């Protein structure tokens, strides 16, 4: 590697268990993982990790875990859950991490489809789901758990400690019980099975090999110069391919320090304490952070607000230029330094980004306003484009070539091609092996010569950068021929802190209309400062004052669209504010928070019809799933508003 910090698969370290053994030998006392428990950070070095993994692997072997077996892993980001994946791999098994917020039916599908006999649960909540699943999926034979709280009276289960005790006895009798199995592994072996988000149907289990993952980890590290000891906070779901590459594969390939937060509620505090040098956040997280900043500024005094507005204006003009190495005038340099002292530095510290050397966002398109906000502060934020099927990396912004309207250039050994239909195709050493038990889907996605259909529409611009327009199936046209790219419009709306989610409609219609989900925190704060009473999300969303607020922001989006002759015809003409938040538990979002557009269109057909038939309101009732699993129903009238279009700007002759 160009960083000189990691060995390559050609050195014989072609699996992660082999790499762990090498790290334990060469960096025994260096930090590998940290976990915050009861407010205190616990550090585990590479030698300790190797011991823990070895004991667990031997214990699993004692329980009957064999080469080819699948291990379900479900829970929040915890060192022991990461170690369990390496333990399964040490025996030639296949870890299958699952989204921790999956309801029982979703989890049951993965367990049954994967044919898993073993499952590791973080805590009682996850154990309860797995025990319920066991009644329907008898192939699930062995469940063990990490956190013993609440588990005293559970029968037929083993704790992490008990499995390791079994492992210690096996290793005492047979010292090479694990190492001999590790030696049998090869780079071409299956390393992990990750299930896709299921935007359009049932999730598919993508099989990735060690060769796929090691290449991806090395390619990403080389691109941005990652080095041993770089820190990251692992707070995104372990079932997501991005977390697997950053927190697991690059951890072993580069020697990163993986920090696990105490809980989802403490992530921001933990982020500030760790001060990572390597950071990733999907657009939704970045949007939420901006919302929090905006709320704080609205609550601040007049002078502080004015200072913030002035220096953010300087930052937007100067910050990206400084990051890209472009010339900056002495006056702007001085103003930016003053802004850094008063605004940017304290704000980056609050966001936990003071030490970030490289940051990525990916998962879905991010609005340029959101992207530029972080670069204005001096955070080296880049977009990357990738998929589960690519082992993440397809393109990344190179240093000095960061453009908010692109997703960068191909990383080393990635080939790109644009089909006649406009669909983006790629080929690389990271391309997945196949979809488990689904040869038809595999053949539909991957050609015989290794090209992968992304399902995204895009093109390569004159700078050699890839530009993604939208999901190919979602890009359409209005009846007058105007291009309709729903995600582009939705991202412009979501830049406003009061809008949490938006769903645009327009293909085959005369005009564009949208559903809006308001942000409960931002709009709630806005309402309280104006003495607007409400008792629930439904009541807040229905307030005419809130409709006025959202309408003003939609009108701003329309003004921006009017300035682009290509998009002027795609201005939003009607909107409504949904009476409930879109939820993954209700099937409206995927577990990675992507909108399931087709499902929403069918579920809320009465509201879609109201947007286009001129109605002033529509009655709707939908079944919902509460956090505790109970079912209920939300119903009521939803108002529909018209929005006047803005005059399009004429091109200069």
* pLDDT per position as a tens digit, 318-339: 999 999 999 999 999 999 999 9
- Residues 457 and 505 occupy one common structural domain: no
Q: Is 148 part of a structural domain of the chain? A: yes
Whether 243 and 320 map to the same domain: the answer is: no
Tell me if 651 is assigned to some domain.
no
247 in a structural domain = yes
> CB count, 10 Å around CB of 67?
12
Q: What pLDDT, on a 0 to 100 scale, did the predictor assign at position 199?
A: 60
CA distance 162 to 367: 49
Statement to judge: residues 254 and 306 lie in one domain: no
Give yes or no: residues 204 and 157 share one domain.
yes
> How many Cα atoms sit within 13 Å of 251 on the Cβ side?
31
| Domain boundaries, position 346 | 283-423+451-471
Q: Is-contact 607 620, C-beta < 8 A?
A: yes
Write the DSSP symbol of residue 116: -
pLDDT tens for 122-157 read 999 999 999 999 999 989 999 999 999 999 899 999
Asked if residue 275 belongs to a domain, the reply is no
What is the residue whose two structure tokens read 């879109």?
582
Pair 77, 154 in one domain: yes
- Same domain assignment for residues 463 and 492: no
| Distance, CA of 418 to CA of 458 (rounded, Å) | 7
- The reply to whether 529 and 578 lie within a common domain is yes
Residue 4: inside a domain: no
pLDDT of residue 491: 83
Are 509 and 465 contained in the same domain? no
| DSSP three-state, residue 406 | coil
| 266 within some domain | no
**Pair type for strands 409-410 and 395-396:** antiparallel
Instruction: Return the CATH number at 100.
Output: 3.40.50.980
Distance CA 600, CA 579 (A): 13
- Please report whether residue 520 resides in a domain: yes
Q: Which segments of 461-597 are extended strands (E)?
A: 466-471, 476-477, 483-484, 499-505, 512-518, 572-577
Please indicate, yes or no, if residue 267 is contained in any of the structural domains. Answer: no
CB 605 within 8 A of CB 618: no
Paired with 121 in beta bridges are 74, 145
pTM of the model: 0.84
**What domain count does the chain have?**
3
**Sign of the dihedral defined by the CA atoms of residues 545, 546, 547, 549, in that order:** positive
- The answer to whether residue 465 scores a pLDDT higher than 90 is yes
Q: Do 524 and 619 share a structural domain?
A: yes
Question: 104 vs 352, which has greater pLDDT?
Answer: 352
518-552 pLDDT per residue, tens: 999 889 999 999 999 999 999 999 999 999 999 99
Q: Are 634 and 506 contained in the same domain?
A: yes
**Which one of 226, 259, 292 terminates a domain?**
259
User: 220 and 110, same structural domain?
Assistant: yes
Q: Do 332 and 219 sit in the same domain of this protein?
A: no
Residue 104 has pLDDT above 80, yes or no: yes
CA separation for the pair 561, 542 (Å, rounded) = 27
């Amino acid at each position: 590697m160009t960083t000189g910090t990691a060995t390559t698969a050609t050195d014989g370290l072609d699996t992660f268990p082999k790499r762990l053994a090498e790290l334990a030998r060469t960096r025994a006392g260096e930090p590998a993982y940290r976990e915050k428990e009861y407010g205190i950070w616990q550090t585990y070095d590479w030698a300790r990790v190797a011991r823990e993994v070895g004991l667990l692997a031997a214990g699993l072997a004692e329980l009957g875990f064999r080469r080819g077996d699948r291990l379900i892993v479900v829970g929040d980001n915890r060192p022991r859950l990461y170690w369990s994946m390496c333990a399964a791999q040490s025996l030639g098994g296949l870890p299958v991490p699952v989204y921790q917020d999956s309801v029982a039916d979703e989890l049951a599908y993965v367990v049954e489809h994967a044919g898993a006999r073993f499952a590791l649960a973080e805590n009682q909540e996850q154990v309860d789901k797995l025990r319920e699943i066991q009644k329907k999926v008898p192939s699930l034979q062995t469940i063990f758990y990490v956190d013993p709280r609440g588990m005293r009276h559970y029968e037929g289960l083993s704790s992490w400690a008990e499995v390791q005790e079994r492992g210690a006895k096996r290793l005492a009798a047979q010292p090479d019980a694990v190492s001999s199995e590790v030696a049998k592994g090869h780079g071409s072996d299956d390393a992990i099975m990750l299930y896709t988000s299921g935007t359009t149907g049932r999730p598919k289990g993508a099989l990735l090999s060690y060769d796929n993952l090691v290449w991806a980890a090395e390619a990403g590290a080389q691109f941005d110069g990652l080095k041993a000891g770089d820190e990251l906070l692992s707070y995104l779901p372990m079932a997501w391919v991005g977390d697997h590459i950053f927190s697991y594969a690059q951890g072993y390939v580069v020697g990163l320090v993986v920090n696990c937060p105490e809980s989802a509620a403490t992530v921001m505090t933990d982020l500030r304490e760790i001060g990572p040098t390597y950071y990733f956040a999907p657009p939704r997280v970045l949007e939420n952070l901006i919302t929090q900043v905006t709320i704080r500024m609205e609550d601040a005094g007049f002078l502080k607000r004015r200072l913030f507005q002035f220096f953010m204006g300087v930052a937007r003009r100067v910050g990206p230029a400084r990051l890209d190495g472009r010339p900056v005038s002495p006056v702007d340099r001085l103003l930016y330094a003053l802004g850094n002292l008063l605004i940017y530095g304290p704000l980056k510290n609050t966001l936990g980004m003071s030490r970030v050397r490289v940051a990525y966002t990916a998962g879905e398109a991010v609005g340029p306003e959101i992207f530029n906000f972080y670069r204005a502060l001096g955070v080296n934020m880049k977009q990357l484009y990738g998929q589960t099927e690519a082992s993440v990396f397809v393109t990344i912004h190179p240093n000095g070539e960061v453009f908010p309207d692109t997703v960068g250039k191909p990383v080393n050994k990635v080939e790109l091609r644009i089909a006649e239909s406009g669909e983006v195709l790629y080929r690389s050493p990271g391309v997945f092996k196949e979809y488990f038990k689904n040869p038809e889907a595999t053949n539909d996605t991957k050609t015989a010569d290794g090209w992968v259909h992304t399902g995204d529409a895009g093109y390569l611009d004159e700078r050699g950068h890839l530009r993604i327009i939208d999901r190919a199936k979602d890009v359409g046209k209005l009846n007058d021929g105007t291009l309709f790219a729903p995600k582009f419009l939705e991202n412009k709306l979501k830049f406003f802190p009061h809008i949490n989610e938006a769903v645009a409609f327009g293909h085959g219609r005369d005009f564009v209309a949208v559903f809006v989900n308001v942000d409960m925190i931002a709009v709630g704060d806005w309402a309280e400062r104006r003495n607007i009473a409400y008792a629930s999300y439904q009541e807040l969303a229905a307030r005419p004052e809130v409709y006025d607020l959202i309408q003003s922001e939609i009108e701003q989006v329309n003004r921006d669209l009017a300035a682009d002759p290509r998009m002027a015809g795609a201005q939003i003409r009607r909107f409504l504010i949904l009476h409930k938040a879109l939820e993954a538990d209700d099937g409206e979002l995927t577990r990675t928070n992507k909108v399931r557009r087709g499902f929403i269109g069918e579920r809320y057909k009465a509201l879609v019809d109201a947007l286009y038939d001129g109605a002033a309101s529509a009655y709707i009732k939908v079944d919902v799933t509460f956090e505790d699993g109970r079912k209920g129903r939300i119903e009521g009238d939803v108002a529909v508003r018209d929005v006047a279009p803005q005059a399009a700007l004429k091109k200069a002759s």
